[in-house]
Chain A
C-alpha cells in the first residue's frame, strides 16, 4: 500500500502520462481527506488524559476541566453548518479566536525574544575556537541588523552580508544536500520495509 501510494506520486512527476497524473491529483486530495478525518483522534486523546484527571481529582484537575470546557465550546460552535449559524462565522467562535487564540499565539511566538537573549548570553562565550567563531559571527550579525550600529559603522552591513552569503550559505547548502541524501536513503529503507520505526508489526 505504501509503495503504491509512493509510486503514484513519483511516476507522474518524471513521466508524461496523463492518466497517472490525474490519478495522482485525486489521490493527493483523497489523502488530505483521510488526514482530516483523523481530527478527532486528537480530541479523544486529550479527553482520555484530562477527563481521567477530572474524575480522579488529581492535582490541578480544574485546569483539565478548563481544557475540556474550551474544547467543547470550540468544537460545538465551530461545526461546519453555516445554515445554523455555526462555523467560522459564528460570533462566539470568532470572539474566542480573535481575543483568546490570536493573542495567545502571538505572545507564545514573541516569548522567543527572551529565550534567544538568555541562550545567547550563555552560549556566546569564547570557551574555545569553535565557540569563539559562533560568538563573533553571531554578534556581528546582531550588530549588522540594528540601525544603531550600522549607522555609526556602515561596514558592519557588508561584513554581515558576507557572513550570510559565504559561510552561512555554504553551511546551509551542505547540510541541505546531505539531508536530501538522508531523506532518500530513509525512503528506500522504508519502501524495502526495513525501517520499522513508523509501521511496526507485532513481531520481534
Chain B
C-alpha cells in the first residue's frame, strides 16, 4: 500500500490523536495570535450599547447546561458586565434544567452588587422553569401564575418590589437568550416575539447559527452572537478580555488542522485516482 493509499484510508485514531495535540499545545503554550473584529461582534455590542435604555426591563436567560459552557459562558459573562453598566432591571430565568447552576458559576465571575444592584429591587433570579415551550407561553401570560417562588430566597414573588411592575410579557423590553438548543430562539420567537412583539437578542453555539440566519434576516432576532470567536471579539470591544480570548488560539490551531487534513486528503485522493488511470 502506497503512502497515498494509507492517507486515503487514514485510521480515525490518528486523526483523533492529532486533534488532541493541536488543542492541548496552544493551551499549554499560548501563541497570542491576533484577533480581527467582525461585524457580528460590532452589531451585538452596538445593540446592547444603544438599544438598551435606562429604565428598561430585560430578561437574562441562560438556556444551556455545563456542556454548553465552553462556548456560551464567556459571552454570558461579558454581556452581563455590559448590562450591569446600565440602569436597567433584569430578570434571570431559564427553561433549561441546568441554567441556575450555570448562573451561579456566572455570579462567581461577576457580582451585581459590585455595580450597586440590589437583589429583589434591581434584579431577581427565578431559576429554572420546567415545561419547555408550553411553560414559555404560560410565562408570557403571567409571571405570577407560572413561578411560585424566586430561586435564591424561596419567597413568593409578591414579596419583591421588582415584580410589582413585571406581570406579563408586555412589561419586558428585551430578552437576552444564550442557548444550545430547544427550547431556544424559535420558541422565544413564537411565544414572545410573534405573540407580544418583545425584542430578542440571541447568543448561540455555532451549530445553531445557520438555523438562526433566517430569523436575523427577517428581523425577528435583533442581534446574534455566534460562538466563541465572536465572544472574544466582543470582549475586546468591551475592553474586558476574558475567557474567550484565552481559548481562541486553540480555535485557530484546530481549524488549521482540519484544513490541512482536508487538503492532504484531497491531494491523496487525486493522486491515487491518477495512478489508477
Bound pair (A, B)? yes
- For residue B271, CB closer than 8 A to chain A, the reply is no
Contact B67 A109, beta carbon cutoff 8 Å: yes
| Chain B positions within 8 Å of A31 at CB level | 134
Contact B259 A164, beta carbon cutoff 8 Å: no
- Report the minimum CB–CB distance from B253 to chain A (whole Å): 7
| Chain A positions within 8 Å of B24 at CB level | none
User: Which listed residue, A25, A145, A173, touches B141 by the CB 8 Å rule?
Assistant: A25
Contact B259 A142, beta carbon cutoff 8 Å: yes
- Complex alpha-carbon distance, A150 and B209, angstroms: 19
| Chain B positions within 8 Å of A126 at CB level | 266, 269-270
Contact A121 B10, beta carbon cutoff 8 Å: yes
Chain B window 29-43, contacts with chain A (Cβ cutoff 8 Å), 1 for yes, 0 for no: 000011110110000
Contact B210 A168, beta carbon cutoff 8 Å: yes
Contact B35 A147, beta carbon cutoff 8 Å: yes
- For residue A154, CB closer than 8 A to chain B, the reply is yes
- For residue A117, CB closer than 8 A to chain B, the reply is yes
- For residue A91, CB closer than 8 A to chain B, the reply is no
- For residue B118, CB closer than 8 A to chain A, the reply is no
- Report the minimum CB–CB distance from B73 to chain A (whole Å): 11
- For residue A143, CB closer than 8 A to chain B, the reply is yes
Chain B window 204-221, contacts with chain A (Cβ cutoff 8 Å), 1 for yes, 0 for no: 001001110110010000
Contact B33 A169, beta carbon cutoff 8 Å: no
- Complex alpha-carbon distance, A125 and B252, angstroms: 22
Given the interface pairs A32-B131, A139-B259, the reply to whether A145 lies near B206 with Cβ below 8 Å is yes
- Complex alpha-carbon distance, A70 and B131, angstroms: 26
A-B contact count (CB 8 A): 129
Pick from B12-20, B52-60, B84-92 the stretch touching chain A: B12-20
Contact A164 B229, beta carbon cutoff 8 Å: no
- Report the minimum CB–CB distance from A29 to chain B (whole Å): 7
Chain A contact residues: helix, strand, loop or mixed: helix
Chain B window 165-196, contacts with chain A (Cβ cutoff 8 Å), 1 for yes, 0 for no: 00000000000000000000000000000000
Contact B33 A157, beta carbon cutoff 8 Å: no
User: Which listed residue, A106, A142, A157, touches B66 by the CB 8 Å rule?
Assistant: A106
- For residue B242, CB closer than 8 A to chain A, the reply is no
- Report the minimum CB–CB distance from A165 to chain B (whole Å): 6
Chain A interface residues (CB < 8 Å from chain B): 25, 28-29, 31-32, 98, 102, 105-106, 108-110, 113-114, 117-118, 120-122, 124-127, 135, 139, 142-143, 145-151, 154, 157, 161, 164-165, 168-169, 172-173, 176
Chain B interface residues (CB < 8 Å from chain A): 10, 12, 15-16, 19, 23, 33-36, 38-39, 65-70, 98, 101, 130-131, 134-135, 137-138, 141, 206, 209-211, 213-214, 217, 227, 229, 248, 251-259, 261-262, 265-266, 269-270
Give 17 pairs: A residue, B residue, CB < 8 Å, sorted on A: A29-B134, A105-B67, A110-B70, A113-B19, A113-B23, A113-B254, A117-B19, A118-B15, A126-B270, A142-B259, A145-B229, A146-B251, A147-B248, A151-B35, A165-B217, A169-B214, A173-B214
Smallest CB-CB A-B distances: 6 pairs = A146-B255, A148-B252, A109-B67, A102-B66, A28-B134, A106-B67
